[in-house]
């Protein structure tokens, strides 16, 4: 059976922002490997003294592009770099490049964003909201545009408990256009002084500015063939192009990675709360499928204005992941791909109580950390454990709301999109999380963490060294547990003797 989606992308010219990010590279790879696109224009900024073309050349050594380049060695010749930066009011795109995009682009995917929860409001607003408005304005000047996908986030409306596939402007205490106008009037320092009142009940500037960006789409883009994609926490690939590919330690992966290396031993988390992780290849496939659907539906409606369709992409109620599963799978499956870089047996205690967590970090993290750093200093090495724990604790504090609370989502539009696809398209652009086997997925995730984050060799000799180390740490862990139990017994006995 022929693939309708593959045919849709044939000879298309696409403009992609956020191409250098985790999701962005996955979209580029999928387009080049599975479709016959004509050009992919990618917005990039010079970084660390490297020109944008140099950055694209570096992708040739990225594991995610290995399969593509083996089958299509010249595939990256279809990538055209556009110099720009989402921090600038006009994205820093030159006038000539703007004209190039207007003349040729038929499909826009806007995935660029700053994901930090700690950015000052002016920076988060510039990149997440103002850049989205500019992309919408630019798209309106593209006469050949057939689809526009805005990549939002599942937590853009986390101020409510049940999130459906609709807009929620009522939870903003000031409209997006007024906030953007205020930003233009004031310098960064003065504007940021209004942050507490503007952000209000949103937990951070990231979720707030992504909610504002959605309102920009709602109010300024209803005449465009546009849709919104709201993914959960994006983690390692499930199947393609390689299983387990991941390149960032972010969100829930902080917990998995910390437990995997035996570093994280106390976590403030609600084990019964839903865990909204989704594989990055599923995200890329859904984005490409939603663009196809958006173009098809607009064509059928003869370009009549209609509200943008929103696609929530999170684990379904029929196949839900919980934070407890995240912890359990990591501990139970450690023996499958044990790390040679682990510092202890992988086990983590959990609590939801803030003061218990803070007290426990002293005994589980800080005291062992200082002890390890002391040994490293005595060996003439640079101390590192306290620095690592500082980063871990900082990440845990940033994500505390999302590790304790639980939300429910409606995914009717996503389900309808999947049902509308042919069997060939469902196989080529798979994103159905209802059928995802989470247990086997974690095998692939932990393998990816070992190979791509820990940078360990995927050889049997390396795995065997990891197993030997794991067995040794298990013995030491049990011995420590025994000694602590003995100490507790004698302490209780001594206290009782004082009063008897």
Helices (H) and strands (E) in the chain — how many of each?
22, 13
CB 222 within 8 A of CB 305: yes
pLDDT at residue 388, rounded to an integer: 87
Task: Report the pLDDT averaged over residues 418-443.
Answer: 94
Q: How far is CA 78 from CA 7, 32, 108, 138, 257, in A?
A: 17, 8, 16, 22, 36
Q: What is the CA radius of gyration of the chain?
A: 25
Task: Report the pLDDT averaged over residues 129-133.
Answer: 95
What's the pLDDT band for 2 if we cut at 50, 70, 90? Answer: confident
What tens digit of pLDDT does each residue of 148-163 get? 999 999 999 999 999 9
Task: Report the pLDDT averaged over residues 84-96.
Answer: 91
In whole angstroms, give the CA distance from residue 404 to residue 27: 31
Provide the mean pLDDT of the chain.
90
In whole angstroms, give the CA distance from residue 273 to residue 253: 16
Task: Report the pLDDT averaged over residues 340-357.
Answer: 90
pLDDT at residue 305, rounded to an integer: 62
What's the pLDDT band for 166 if we cut at 50, 70, 90? Answer: very high
Q: Which helix (H) or strand (E) holds 216?
A: helix 205-220
What's the pLDDT band for 299 if we cut at 50, 70, 90? Answer: low
What tens digit of pLDDT does each residue of 222-272 get? 889 999 999 999 999 999 999 999 988 887 888 888 888 889 999 999 999
Q: Does residue 303 carry a pLDDT above 60?
A: no
CB 352 within 8 A of CB 269: yes
DSSP 8-state assignment for residue 308? P
User: What DSSP assignment string belongs to 70-107?
Assistant: HH-TTGGGGEEEEE--TTSTTTT--HHHHHHHHHH--E
What tens digit of pLDDT does each residue of 447-457 get? 999 999 989 98
What tens digit of pLDDT does each residue of 384-415 get? 888 888 988 888 888 888 888 999 999 999 99
pLDDT at residue 250, rounded to an integer: 80
Task: Report the pLDDT averaged over residues 302-328.
Answer: 85
Question: Which residue do the tokens 């050009």 mark?
Answer: 39
What's the pLDDT band for 288 if we cut at 50, 70, 90? Answer: very high
What's the pLDDT band for 435 if we cut at 50, 70, 90? Answer: very high
pLDDT at residue 103, rounded to an integer: 95
Name every residue whose Cβ is closer than 8 Å to that of residue 19 and which is 6 or more positions away in sequence.
Answer: 25, 27, 28, 40, 42, 43, 44, 111
Task: Report the pLDDT averaged over residues 195-203.
Answer: 91
In whole angstroms, give the CA distance from residue 364 to residue 345: 13
CB 246 within 8 A of CB 448: yes
What tens digit of pLDDT does each residue of 458-485 get? 888 998 998 899 889 888 888 988 888 8
What's the pLDDT band for 346 if we cut at 50, 70, 90? Answer: confident
Nearest Cα residue to 278 out of 398, 181, 413, 414: 414
Task: Report the pLDDT averaged over residues 352-372.
Answer: 91
What's the pLDDT band for 498 if we cut at 50, 70, 90? Answer: confident
Q: Does residue 301 carry a pLDDT above 70?
A: no
What's the pLDDT band for 95 if we cut at 50, 70, 90? Answer: very high
What tens digit of pLDDT does each residue of 37-46 get? 999 999 998 7
Cα angle 344, 466, 403; round to 5: 50
Distance linking the first and last C-alpha atoms of the chain: 84
CB 286 within 8 A of CB 229: yes
Task: Supply φ then ψ for residue 79, to 5 degrees.
Answer: -90, 130
pLDDT at residue 300, rounded to an integer: 63
Tell me: cis bond preceding 241? Omega within 30 of 0 counts.
yes
Q: Does residue 306 carry a pLDDT above 90?
A: no
Cα angle 351, 352, 358; round to 5: 70
Domains of the chain and CATH, by start: 4-247+275-320+406-451 (3.40.50.720), 323-403+462-499 (no CATH)
């Amino acid at each position: 059976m022929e693939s309708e989606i593959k045919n849709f992308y044939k000879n298309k010219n696409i403009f992609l922002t956020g191409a250098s990010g985790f999701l962005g590279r996955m979209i580029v790879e999928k387009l080049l490997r599975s479709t016959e696109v004509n050009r992919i224009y990618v917005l990039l900024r010079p970084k660390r003294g490297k020109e944008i073309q140099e950055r694209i050349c570096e992708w040739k050594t990225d594991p995610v592009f290995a399969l593509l380049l083996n089958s299509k060695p010249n595939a990256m010749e279809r990538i055209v770099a556009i110099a720009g930066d989402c921090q600038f009011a006009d994205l820093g795109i030159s006038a000539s490049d703007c004209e190039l995009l207007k003349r040729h682009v038929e499909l826009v995917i806007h995935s660029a964003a700053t994901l930090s929860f700690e950015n000052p409001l002016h920076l988060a607003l510039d990149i997440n909201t103002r850049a989205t408005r500019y992309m919408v304005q630019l798209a309106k000047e593209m006469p050949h545009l057939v689809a526009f996908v805005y990549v939002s986030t599942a937590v853009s409306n986390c101020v409510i408990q049940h999130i459906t596939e609709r807009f929620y402007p009522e939870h903003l205490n000031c409209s997006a256009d007024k906030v953007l106008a205020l930003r233009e009037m004031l310098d960064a320092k003065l504007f940021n002084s209004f942050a507490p009142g503007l952000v209000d009940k949103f937990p951070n500037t990231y979720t707030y500015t992504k909610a504002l960006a959605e309102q920009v789409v709602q109010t300024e883009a209803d005449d465009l063939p546009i849709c919104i994609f709201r993914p959960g926490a994006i983690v390692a690939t499930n199947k393609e192009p390689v299983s387990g590919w991941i390149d960032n330690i972010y969100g829930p992966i902080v917990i998995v990675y910390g437990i995997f290396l035996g570093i994280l031993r106390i976590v403030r988390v609600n084990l019964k709360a839903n865990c909204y992780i989704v594989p990055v290849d599923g995200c890329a496939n859904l984005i490409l499928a939603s663009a196809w659907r958006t173009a098809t539906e607009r064509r059928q409606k003869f370009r009549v204005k209609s509200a943008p369709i929103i696609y929530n992409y999170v684990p379904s109620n029929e196949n839900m992941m919980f934070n407890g599963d995240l912890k359990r799978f990591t501990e139970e499956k450690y023996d499958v791909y044990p790390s040679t870089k682990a510092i202890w047996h992988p086990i983590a205690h959990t609590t939801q109580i803030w003061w218990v967590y803070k007290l426990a970090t002293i005994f589980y993290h800080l005291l062992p950390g200082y002890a390890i750093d002391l040994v490293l200093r005595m060996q003439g090495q640079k101390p590192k454990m306290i620095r690592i724990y500082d980063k871990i604790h900082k990440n845990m504090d940033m994500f505390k709301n999302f590790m304790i609370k639980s939300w429910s989502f409606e995914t009717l539009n996503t389900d309808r999109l999947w049902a509308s696809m042919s069997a060939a398209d469902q196989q080529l652009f798979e994103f159905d999380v209802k059928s995802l086997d989470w247990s086997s997925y974690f095998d692939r995730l932990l393998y990816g963490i070992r190979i791509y984050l820990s940078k360990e060799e995927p050889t049997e000799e390396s795995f065997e060294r990891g197993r030997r180390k794991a067995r040794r740490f298990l013995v030491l862990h049990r011995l420590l547990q025994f000694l602590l139990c003995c100490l507790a017994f004698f302490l209780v006995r001594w206290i009782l003797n004082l009063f008897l």
